Amino acid sequence: GAGVSQSPSNKVTEKGKDVELRCDPISGHTALYWYRQSLGQGLEFLIYFQGNSAPDKSGLPSDRFSAERTGGSVSTLTIQRTQQEDSAVYLCASSWDSLTDTQYFGPGTRLTVL
Partner 1 sequence: QKEVEQNSGPLSVPEGAIASLNCTYSDRGSQSFFWYRQYSGKSPELIMSIYSNGDKEDGRFTAQLNKASQYVSLLIRDSQPSDSATYLCAVRLFGNEKLTFGTGTRLTIIP
Interface with partner 1 (CB under 8 A) = 31, 33, 35, 40-45, 48, 50, 55-56, 58-59, 91, 98, 101-108
Residue 89 CB, shortest distance to partner 1, in Å, is: 9
- Torsion angle, CA of 86/35/94/31, rounded to 10 degrees? -100
For partner 1, which is the closer residue by CB, 18 or 97? 97
Greatest alpha-carbon pair distance for the chain in Å reads 39
Residue 35 CB, shortest distance to partner 1, in Å, is: 8
Q: Compute CA distances 108 → 36, 53, 92, 99, whole Å.
A: 9, 22, 7, 23
For partner 1, which is the closer residue by CB, 35 or 65? 35
**Is residue 84 classed as helix, strand or coil in its secondary structure?**
helix
Residue 101 CB, shortest distance to partner 1, in Å, is: 5
